[in-house]
Amino acid sequence: MKTFPRGGVHPPENKKASGSPIEVLPLPKVVCIHLAHHLGAPAEPVVAKGDAVKAGQLIARSTGFVSANLHAPVSGTVQKIEPAPDSSGYKRTAIFIEVQGDEWLETIDRTTDVINSKEMSSADIINRITQMGIVGLGGATFPSHVKLTIPKGKKAEILIINGVECEPYLTSDHRLMLEKGEEILIGAQLLMKALQVNQAVVGIENNKPDAIRHLTELCNRFPGIRVEVLKVKYPQGGEKQLIKAITGREVPSGKLPIDVGVVVHNVGTAFAVYEAINKNKPLVERVVTVTGKTMNRTANYLVRIGTPINELIEAAGGLPSDTGKVISGGPMMGRALPMIDVPVTKGTSGIVMMPVSESNRRTSLNCIRCSRCNSVCPMGLEPYLLMSLGEAKRWDDMEIAKVMDCMECGSCSYTCPSGRPLLDYIRLGKTSVNRIIRSRSK
Amino acid sequence: MSATNLLTVSYSPHLSGTESVQKIMYRVLIAMIPAFAVSLIFFGLGALVVTSIAVVSCMAFEYLINRFMLKAESTLWDGSAAVTGVLLAFNVPSNLPVWMIIIGSLVAIGVAKMSFGGLGKNPFNPALVGRVFLLISFPVQMTSWPKAIESRLAYLDATTGATPLAILKEGIKNGQPLSELMKEIPGYAQMFIGNMGGSLGEISALALIIGGLYLIYKKVITWHIPVSILATVGLFTGILWMIDPGKYADPLFHLLAGGIILGAIFMATDMVTSPMTPVGQLIFGAGIGLITCLIRIFGSFPEGVSFAILIMNAFVPLIDKYVKPKRFGEELKNG
Amino acid sequence: MNTVVITIISLSVIGGLSGFILFLIAQQFKVFEDPRIDDVEAVLPGANCGGCGYPGCRGFAENCVKAETLDALFCPVGGNDGMVKVAAALGKEAVVKDPLVAVVRCSGSPDHRVRTTQYDSVGTCEIASILFSGDTACSFGCLGLGDCVKACTFDAMHMNPVSLLPEVIDGKCTSCGACVKACPKTIIELRKKNKKDRKIFVSCVNQDKGAAAKKACSVACIACKACVKACAFDAITIENFLAYIDPAKCTLCRKCVAVCPTDSILEINFAPRKVAEAEPVAIDNQAN
């Protein structure tokens, strides 16, 4: 079974929610859509306070190449456009829509039968994806059309569909593969057409045997697409690790996957592409796992973007009384939320409730130079050194030690026997080095 | 909203693995049990007294220094003081007087460890610093080795004899031929199980290797340092032995005699004072092996492992500076 | 006897030869430096705090010697007196600046600003501010982790353990600006130093609308404009729902302090106001 050769850890999987089929969450009363929803430039509103909108209607326009459109996930009236806290607690401008009914634009096909008859040219596919506001649903929210627009001089050879879902607790991709497998593969086919490649590989970790079986069977009908079963190891779902495991190619430091001829998209993104092309539907909803050790009930909800997170938690039985942390995303790379009424975004893959007993860090001791952090780092960095340099504010030395290659997977902090906050200082270093790099190019 | 608690906000990852400093130290203590058992079998009362005094005094000094000098929290529970105590005991003869052991503990913990900032900050192996301090300050007591088995019920008044390495060193200085000297040392099988003179912990290669395999199995150490040390010693002495078997002892003798296996498995592998990368560790081990052989064969001390390890400890920052792990996506020079 | 003589001679020769070689090398690699740099450095405070914007006092001295005029050069630690000495050493004109002092513009102690989350990562403001907006409902206020205190090399700042806010010791503050740079939320400002260390300033940096600001902290500025109306000197402006008192125009009359409904404007080192005598109340026998 293939895997990536260096580094990686094995956190307990806790995939409690993998048996919960996707449920549609009832509509909220108000949705809040932040303009800075995705990586890149924030979108610009095209509606104003008081406007009536239908679900699927464009409400904010992309403001550059690396930017994306935003569409109304609900029908109703624009309540206000003003700063509201996002998952970091900082206030950023957001569009609030008061929900009234559930009326969609007539051009959108809301049926659920599987269609695979659309024939579109590569350029049209990319165009539609751009218009429909598709961004990476793996969590990074990188505008997908940017990945599909191959720069001059580079060529795509393989498309990889990321069905790994290596984070503990999260099961939204798993359920999507089980319930919408055919649609995902149709989406993959469309992406292959857009990239003009003839082979695609769906990477799935070995802890999802039902999904592997289902998709392998479906692949018989889709020439050029195959399933690659991968060893369960975190962070197999990281783009670079996935490419290395499946193709053996290593993306060079500072470069992108396209530089080794590969493009990677999440299964959720492939599904969104299918809906965009075949149903003319923009990206306005996604599957979010709601789970946690102390939750009585777990669920995988199909949620409209902008729904306040507390509504998902209420629907799944409410916040357990001994909850210490609410995490947006998975427990290894996700964000601990300062308040739970922040909205679901295109990048919210799950909400994990952690009990108080597991919410506090261990006391941090001196580094005992055991080099476990070195051996688990998938990028071959030296976290112990980066933390020492970060404490001493030696940003130039951190840049030389390749801190910018860090993918912030958290394997180092996870493993450290002394409980040292390695990733905290690495993030500080990345922020500071970024500032220095930007001031250099000015 | 949460009923009773405020939500906690921290950076990811929000999970921790199960490794801890305490677990690592306790695994090391467990790995030292076979060697300790053998020392009780061969050195009896002396071994018991020396080890317990060393452990207790190391832990006491760490507690006292933390509480009264540094006014910091006690770090006794992490087990590293106990490990230093046992390793210090393993490196001294089993008839060492109590007050010398206590001085050794004071130097090992106070000077070599706490004065640098506690666990993780020391550049030199604390037990070895204590041992070398004792060797240089009290050369007579530190080189009077109780005879195995004979001195089991005695402590300070144990009958003493020379270690195999000392026999060789003295004999060659006196001009005796090698073949005669080799008759005076116990057979290799005896040396392997530990029936020879030497410090508490170094005598039984068998017990130490069992401990070493346990440590490798539990992922406390990796094979790189022990194998590179022993391979270098074997190679160096092997080459000399092939050149002149009448003058130089064979490599198997060098591997079984003295503290090279104790050093290779328990002392040099101390994670705080060894390099961070596998390649760095190989270089480190090779250096130790080389310096040990040079001291043993050309130097004036019969045994050189302690000095070799301390010297290479000083090189570790240099090794770590230049030997870096292979980065993901490192551009190949020719590709 | 011979040994002693030989030893003395040989060591003396080696010593003398080594000394001579060192002398030659020192002469060969001598760096010529303008002697005025040493003169200027001698009159500088020697704190090497970087407040002037140059690397250390020597760096500042070099730039003073190099520069045509001293207009753009100022050592905040030495202040005006120090610059006069520098100017004298170089025969140039010294620039005169108003002395400044660091002011912490936040009063969000736990009794005014409720904690809404628990922070559990590295205890520095820089790292905390990258993670989230803070452990209270005010996303602009002081995080209380003390990066400013650590940055101060003059021992002029300390953290108040009750209010969890930093406090400036006016006598020791040299307005070097290290704390201003250290604060990721730009809460600390260098303001004009007045007589008797008197200060009047808006102790708030919250840019939320009034209702939201008040909800987060009871002494927040709610941009009600009462202070703007009260100020006879046009010293107060409101931007982004936050009032700001211009120290250049402020005359320390204290009228704004009296009218602020949330006690957001602070007056420091003033004599307490006289309490107005209660007016006699007329008794109205015909009232119901």
Q: pLDDT of B121-143, one tens digit each?
A: 999 999 999 999 999 999 998 98
A337 touches B at CB < 8 Å: yes
Res A420 pLDDT > 90 = yes
- Tell me whether residues A431 and C130 touch, CB distance under 8 A: yes
- Give the CATH fold of the A27-99 domain: OB fold (Dihydrolipoamide Acetyltransferase, E2P) (2.40.50)
CA distance C182 to chain B (A): 21
Query: Does one domain contain both C73 and C200?
Result: no
- Tell me whether residues C122 and A91 touch, CB distance under 8 A: no
> How many domains does chain C divide into?
2
Residues A76-107: pLDDT tens digits?
A: 999 999 999 999 999 999 999 999 999 999 99
Chain C CB contacts of B6 below 8 Å: 115-118
A251 touches B at CB < 8 Å: yes
Query: Does one domain contain both C110 and C203?
Result: yes
To test the contact with chain B by mutation, choose from C120, C126, C136, C145 the residue with the greatest count of B C-beta atoms within 10 A, namely C120
Res A268 pLDDT > 50 = yes
B153 touches C at CB < 8 Å: no
Q: Is residue B241 part of a domain?
A: no
Query: Does one domain contain both C194 and C253?
Result: yes
Q: Is residue B156 part of a domain?
A: no
- Tell me whether residues C119 and B6 touch, CB distance under 8 A: no
- Tell me whether residues C127 and A85 touch, CB distance under 8 A: no
Per-range mean pLDDT, top range of A203-217, B74-88, C56-70: A203-217
- State the CATH number of the domain containing residue C254: 3.30.70.20
For chain C positions 195-234, those within 8 Å of chain A (CB to CB) are 208
Res C278 pLDDT > 60 = no
Per-residue confidence (pLDDT) for residue A48, from 0 to 100: 95
Query: Does one domain contain both C257 and C159?
Result: yes
Chain B CB contacts of A236 below 8 Å: none
Q: Which of A338, A405, A417 sits opposite B24 (nearest CB)?
A: A417
CA distance C18 to chain B (A): 30
- B291 to each of B91, B171, B222, B285, how far by Cα in Å? 18, 22, 22, 10
- State the CATH number of the domain containing residue C40: 1.10.15
Rounded percentage of chain B residues whose pLDDT exceeds 70: 97
Per-range mean pLDDT, top range of A21-35, A109-123, C86-100: A21-35
- Tell me whether residues C132 and A89 touch, CB distance under 8 A: yes
The domain segmentation of chain A, as residue ranges, is 27-99, 111-278, 289-358, 372-441
A371 touches C at CB < 8 Å: no
Query: Does one domain contain both C84 and C174?
Result: no
Rounded percentage of chain C residues whose pLDDT exceeds 90: 64
Range of the domain at B128: 21-141
Whether the model clears a pTM of 0.95, i.e. scores above it, the answer is no
Chain B CB contacts of A367 below 8 Å: 120
| B-contacting chains (≥3 CB pairs under 8 Å) | A, C
Per-residue confidence (pLDDT) for residue B334, from 0 to 100: 40
Per-residue confidence (pLDDT) for residue A398, from 0 to 100: 96
Give the chain A residue whose CA is nearest to the CA of C130: A428
CA distance A367 to chain B (A): 5
- Tell me whether residues C118 and B7 touch, CB distance under 8 A: yes
- Give the CATH fold of the A289-358 domain: Ubiquitin-like (UB roll) (3.10.20)
- Tell me whether residues B11 and C131 touch, CB distance under 8 A: yes
Q: Select from A78, A85, A75, A77 the least CA-distant residue to A34.
A: A85
CA distance B71 to chain C (A): 21
Res A254 pLDDT > 90 = no
A357 touches C at CB < 8 Å: no
B12 touches A at CB < 8 Å: yes
- Tell me whether residues C118 and B9 touch, CB distance under 8 A: yes
Chain B CB contacts of A361 below 8 Å: 10, 16
Residue B210 CA to residue A71 CA, distance in Å, equals: 66
Average pLDDT across chain B, whole number = 90
Residues A307-350: pLDDT tens digits?
A: 999 999 999 999 999 999 999 999 999 999 999 999 999 999 99
Q: Is residue C254 part of a domain?
A: yes
Superfamily covering domain A111-278: NADH-ubiquinone oxidoreductase 51kDa subunit (3.40.50.11540)
- Tell me whether residues C117 and B10 touch, CB distance under 8 A: no
CA distance B11 to chain C (A): 6
Query: Does one domain contain both C151 and C50?
Result: no
Query: Does one domain contain both C53 and C172?
Result: no
Range of the domain at C77: 35-90
Per-residue confidence (pLDDT) for residue C277, from 0 to 100: 54
> How many domains does chain B divide into?
1
To test the contact with chain C by mutation, choose from B2, B7, B10 the residue with the greatest count of C C-beta atoms within 10 A, namely B10
Rounded percentage of chain B residues whose pLDDT exceeds 90: 62
Residues A351-407: pLDDT tens digits?
A: 999 999 999 999 999 999 999 999 999 999 999 999 999 999 999 999 999 999 999
Res C288 pLDDT > 70 = no
Per-residue confidence (pLDDT) for residue C50, from 0 to 100: 85
Per-residue confidence (pLDDT) for residue C232, from 0 to 100: 93
* B71-98: average pLDDT: 91
A367 touches B at CB < 8 Å: yes
Res A31 pLDDT > 90 = yes
Res C13 pLDDT > 60 = yes
Per-residue confidence (pLDDT) for residue A222, from 0 to 100: 92
Q: Is residue B67 part of a domain?
A: yes
Chain B CB contacts of A88 below 8 Å: none
Residues B265-304: pLDDT tens digits?
A: 999 999 999 999 999 999 999 999 999 999 998 888 888 9
Per-residue confidence (pLDDT) for residue B335, from 0 to 100: 37
Query: Does one domain contain both C61 and C132?
Result: no
Average pLDDT across chain A, whole number = 94
Three-state secondary structure readout of chain A: CECCCCCCECCCCCCHHHHCCEEECCCCCEEEEECCCCCCCCCEECCCCCCEECECCEEEECCCCCCCCEECCCCEEEEEEEEEECCCCCEEEEEEEEECCCCECCCCCCCCCCCCCCCCCHHHHHHHHHHCCCECCCCCCCEHHHHHCCCCCCCCCEEEEEECCCCCCCCHHHHHHHHCHHHHHHHHHHHHHHHCCCCEEEEEECCCHHHHHHHHHHHCCCCCEEEEEECCCECCCCHHHHHHHHHCCCCCCCCCHHHHCEEEEEHHHHHHHHHHHHCCCCCCEEEEEEEECCCCCCEEEEEECCCEHHHHHHHCCCCCCCEEEEEECCCCCCEECCCCCCECCCCCCEEEEEEHHHCCCCCCCCCCCCCHHHHHCCCCCCHHHHHHHHHCCCHHHHHHCCHHHCCCCCHHHHHCCCCCCHHHHHHHHHHHHHHHHHHHHC
Lowest-confidence segment of A245-254, A275-284, B192-201 by average pLDDT: B192-201
Per-residue confidence (pLDDT) for residue B190, from 0 to 100: 83
Per-residue confidence (pLDDT) for residue C287, from 0 to 100: 46
Q: Tell me the residues of C at the B interface, defined by beta carbons under 8 Å apart.
A: 115-121, 127, 131-132, 135
Query: Does one domain contain both C84 and C223?
Result: no
Q: Which of C116, C121, C122 sits opposite A338 (nearest CB)?
A: C116
A421 touches C at CB < 8 Å: yes
Q: Is residue B250 part of a domain?
A: no
Per-residue confidence (pLDDT) for residue C275, from 0 to 100: 63
